[in-house]
Amino acid sequence: MRSAENNQRPILFLMVNMFIAMLGIGLIIPILPEFLKEFGAGGKTAGYLIAALGLTQFIFSPIAGEWSDKYGRKIMIVSGLTLFTISNLLFAVAEHISMLYISRLIGGIGAAFMIPSMLAYVADITTEEKRGKGLGLLGAAMSLGFVIGPGIGGFLAELGLRMPLYVSAGVGALATVGSLLFLPESLSKEAQMAARNAKEKKESIFVQLGRSVRAPYFIMLILIFTMTFGLANFEAIFPLFVDAKFAYTARDISIIITVGALAGTVVQAALIGKLIERFGEKNLINWTFLFSAVSMVLMLLSGNFWYMLVLTVIFFTLTSIMRPAINTLISKRAGDEQGFVAGMNNAYMSLGNIFGPAVAGTLYDVHLDAPYLFGAIILIISLFLSRKESRSKMKPVVAQS
């Protein structure tokens, strides 16, 4: 374990890397409508492009985690940043839809290589007492990148539609070189060799998903899926929706997404502990599912910029409260299966990020309003599942004679 002073620089590098990755994802959001028009593509393509990244991230995350144990964190982080840079560059120079899909599939592999290895890196170099702070800093960098990304993307788009993508690829390349030169390896050679020589075979992600169905917290994992589905549904189509229905510019879209995401981040960082303590996880989950569904329907009623901005802030704030409330409740019910639950939490979230955009894009091409109506229905169904699960936990157990 390194000293606290020696730990600061690696964590700073990891924060910069995570910020750049999320920045690159956010930069694309406001330019997507005009960008896809160059290819004559619509909602289905937008949804499938976002789902493509989630698909390869879901498939490769377990593999990347194993390789990270066997070959070290640094090589996986640098490889992930390299793939991320290639992904954005391909997206920037693409002249055919197939190149866009290849770009996003590569980006998902990059995210799978990079993010779990960064989390493991923090665990390597911190004590249990300091680990929460290190992971919190990494999470803050992730949130900040996504918050700032759309804003920067909207302004860079005024210099050229593909400029945000070139900038994202450029900063990704700088992060790759910086990490290669200055980021030390955190996992000892002995630990790497022990992982390579281990005889125990790990369960596949599909076997683990099967196990989760029989778990007492299965309904809560379903709520993770539906919450992510609804959020991904909203984010995937929002730029195309407001562009087609209300003629919003890239700058309008960037302002709305940036302000909404920032509000959600502030609430999650500053208020979530107090809200859980005051109202309890179950009440927060139920009310946020209800009002999230209502806000999605209300978005269909007016194209006024300020009206849409307020609703977006409300939606992002609600989902920012909902996620930690569900995570906290799952953790409380997991008992001694915390590691397994954390993996399943990520898996169900990844599935939501795959199916949410894909379904939203398909429905968008049927009718502009369809993704938001369907998303609202999914959130209402989630509310009923949550209430049913809560009632089942309250039933007294009758002792058998």
C-alpha closest to that of 298 among 247, 372, 350: 372
Domains located in the chain, CATH noted? 1-182 (1.20.1250.20), 203-389 (1.20.1250.20)
| Helical ranges in 128-217 per DSSP H | 128-156, 163-182, 189-197, 205-213
| CA distances in angstroms from 85 to 3, 8, 167, listed in the order given | 32, 25, 10
Rounded Cα gap, residues 23 and 220, in angstroms:
30
Instruction: Enumerate helices (H) and strands (E) in the chain, giving the number of each.
Output: 16, 0
The token pair at 395 is 């039933």
- The set of residues, in sequence order, having a beta carbon less than 8 Å from that of 365 and lying 6+ positions away, is 42, 43, 44
Quote the CA–CA distance of 225 and 231 in Å, as a whole number.
10
Measured distance CA(62)–CA(51) in Å, rounded: 18
pTM of the model: 0.77
C-alpha to C-alpha distance for 380 and 148, rounded to whole angstroms = 31
180 burial type by CB count under 10 A (0-12 exposed, 13-18 middle, 19+ buried): middle
Amino acid 47: pLDDT: 85
Name the strand (E) or helix (H) holding 42: none
Contact assessment for residue 1 and residue 127, using Cβ atoms and an 8 Å cutoff:
yes
pLDDT score for 139: 67
Q: What is the pLDDT along the chain (401 residues), one digit of tens a residue?
A: 454 445 677 878 788 877 877 777 777 777 877 888 888 887 888 888 888 888 888 888 778 877 888 888 889 989 999 998 999 899 989 889 999 999 989 988 988 888 778 877 877 777 766 666 676 677 667 767 777 777 788 788 888 888 888 988 888 898 888 888 888 887 778 888 887 787 766 677 778 888 888 888 888 889 888 888 888 778 778 888 888 889 888 888 888 888 888 888 787 777 777 888 888 888 888 999 999 999 999 999 988 999 999 999 999 888 888 877 887 787 777 666 665 776 677 788 888 888 888 898 889 889 989 999 999 999 999 999 888 876 665 554 343 43
pLDDT value of position 376: 92
Compute how many other C-beta atoms are within 10 angstroms of the C-beta atom of residue 240. Answer: 26
Rounded distance between C-alpha atoms, residue 257 and residue 303, angstroms: 15
- The rounded distance, in Å, linking the Cα atoms of 341 and 173 is 35
Q: At what angle do helices 189-197 and 43-71 cross, to 10 degrees?
A: 100
